[in-house]
Amino acid sequence: MARAGLTADRLTQAGAELADEVGFDNVTLSALARLFDVKVASLYSHVTNSHDLKTRIALLALQELADRAADAVAGRAGKDALVALGNVYRDYAREHPGRYAAMHFRLDRETAIASAGVRHSAMTRAILRGYDLAEPDQTHAVRLLGSVFHGFATLELEGGFGNSSPDSQESWTRTLDALDALLRAWPAPD
């Protein structure tokens, strides 16, 4: 009986790939066991349970995306940085829909705080340095950008925009234009 050589990391990685193929909700320990040609119970030596596996996939995705984002915004500022960051989010969601969904798996507070999730808001805040926003407006803008990026990616993925004209790429470009214009002329409260 040769061993399969499983580790938590290999399971997480395989789980992430599986998520992209069949959807995050359909990532099961059973499916992973089949993949590695191993009995299900054996996986419990590596992850504590199904929830643990999903948490690990979520953390993987958060980190992967944070890395990409950091890379994309490095050396850019203003609209250039905004577009780069937005594209990283949208492209990741399209290339890795399962991992993207995994990122919104509910983490307990400690795990969330220790996760790469914090880097995401930090980076969004960073690109706002190219615009002239003082607190608390900066925080409002961070939340708005997060909402648009996440909302657009989600709706586009689930086909909420239809597949008719104008195509969603066009809408995305114009959305980024609009956000840039908005941030340059951020309105005072009414």
Partner DNA sequence: CGAAGCTACCTAAATACATTAGGTAAAACT
Partner DNA sequence: AGTTTTACCTAATGTATTTAGGTAGCTTCG
Positions that interact with DNA (CB under 7 A): 1-6, 28-31, 38-42, 44-46, 48-51
Q: What are phi and psi of 188, to 5 degrees?
A: -70, 155
Which is nearer to a second copy, 129 or 140 (by Cβ)?
Answer: 140
Beta carbons of 65 and 59 less than 8 angstroms apart: no
Which is nearer to a second copy, 15 or 117 (by Cβ)?
Answer: 117
Does 177 sit near a second copy (CB under 8 A)? yes
Q: From DNA, a second copy, none, which one binds at residue 175 (CB under 5 to 8 Å depending on kind)?
A: a second copy
Query: Least distance from C-beta 23 to DNA, angstroms?
Result: 13
Q: From a second copy, DNA, none, which one binds at residue 160 (CB under 5 to 8 Å depending on kind)?
A: a second copy
Query: Least distance from C-beta 182 to a second copy, angstroms?
Result: 5
As a whole number of angstroms, the distance between CA 41 and CA 87 comes to: 41
Single residue of 92, 100, 131, 149 touching a second copy by CB under 8 A:
149
Does 173 sit near a second copy (CB under 8 A)? yes
Q: From DNA, a second copy, none, which one binds at residue 29 (CB under 5 to 8 Å depending on kind)?
A: DNA
Residues that bind a second copy (CB under 8 A): 25, 104, 106, 136-137, 139-140, 143-144, 146-152, 154-155, 158-161, 165-166, 168, 170-171, 173-175, 177-178, 180-182, 185-187, 189-190
